[in-house]
Homo-oligomer: A and B are copies of this chain.
Amino acid sequence: MTNFPAARSLAAHVRPLIIEPGHSANHCATCGARGESVCASIDDRNLDRLASAAIVTDVAPGKTFISEGEPADSFFNITAGTAKLYKLLPDGRRQITGFAHAGSFLGLAVSSIYAFSAEAIDNVRYCRFPRRKLQSLLDDFPALEKRLLETASNELVAAQDQMLLLGRKTARERLASFLIAQKRHALPCRHSENRIALPMSRADIADYLGLTIETVSRTFTRLKNEQLIAVPNATCVDVLDREALLSLAEGYESGD
């Protein structure tokens, strides 16, 4: 299910990496996710400021590193892996509000309390910024604040799309939308051009799309029977008819 068969079981589930003082200025400079993240707005000269504020941490699959309702004293910048963000109702009903990939910035709540929980799906690495330190970074680097505003705006647009999906789309349309979005997001899937990696479980997909596991599974097989996709195994999908999938996702053909 994940690509890190060895390193997983050893690690304490939330383990800050030890960065020696002498090297602390470097890890941002060599960070592969920098280009995708808000950190790109800080130029090379000031990278050490950024690096010294960040606490790099690894999280094992299935471990929760943000809990809804707890004091929000940190911000998180995912640099590797995929995490799910979710909210719960008292009886256990769950809504996944999004998936966080390398470059995602989490914790943008003005409130002093996290509005959602976050759990690692595969091996996740993040940079954690204590609230105060990020605040001073924001004061010193207006470009960072500008970038954060852009990020928040983009997420707002995505959230509106998701509301449309949850409120008005059929199960087929939801799954098609999900696959199209996954395809856009996670291009870095070698293999075929049309292969989509699905690191999350069926339960996660269901809770993201406002459906049940069973409906997700049935809808997968239906799209498979209709030759829109192929499902070599549970962790990936091949897109066979991109056009049809796209117009389905956009709500053009609900029946048929």
Instruction: Map CB proximity to B onto A186-212 as digits: 1 under 8 Å, 0 otherwise.
Output: 000000000000000000000101100
Tell whether A19 is near chain B: CB-to-CB under 8 Å.
Answer: no
Protomer copies: 2
Cross-chain contact of A251 among B90, B110, B150, B164 (Cβ < 8 A)? B90
CA distance A39 to B137 in the complex (A): 24
Cross-chain contact A109 with B152 (CB below 8 angstroms): no
CA distance A157 to B155 in the complex (A): 11
Interface-forming stretch among A29-37, A53-61, A120-128, A166-174? A166-174
Given contacts A142-B142, A149-B149, contact A252 B108 (CB under 8 A): no
A87 to chain B: closest residue by CB: B164
Given contacts A93-B251, A145-B145, A167-B210, contact A87 B160 (CB under 8 A): yes
What does DSSP make chain A's interface, helix, strand, loop or mixed?
Answer: helix
Residues on B with beta carbons closer than 8 Å to the beta carbon of A169: 89, 93
What total of chain A residues lie within 8 Å of the partner, measured CB to CB? Answer: 44
CA distance A22 to B95 in the complex (A): 54
Cross-chain contact A109 with B157 (CB below 8 angstroms): yes
Residues on B with beta carbons closer than 8 Å to the beta carbon of A251: 89-91, 93
CA distance A150 to B207 in the complex (A): 28
Cross-chain contact A90 with B250 (CB below 8 angstroms): yes
CA distance A123 to B162 in the complex (A): 29
Tell whether A42 is near chain B: CB-to-CB under 8 Å.
Answer: no
Given contacts A89-B250, A115-B157, A157-B115, contact A95 B164 (CB under 8 A): yes
A89 to chain B: closest residue by CB: B251
Residues on B with beta carbons closer than 8 Å to the beta carbon of A252: 90-91
The 10 tightest CB contacts between A and B, nearest first, are A167-B210, A89-B251, A166-B166, A159-B159, A152-B152, A95-B164, A95-B167, A93-B168, A115-B157, A97-B160
Residues of A within 8 A of B (CB): 87, 89-91, 93-95, 97, 108-111, 115-116, 138, 142, 145-146, 148-150, 152-157, 159-164, 166-169, 207, 209-210, 250-252, 254
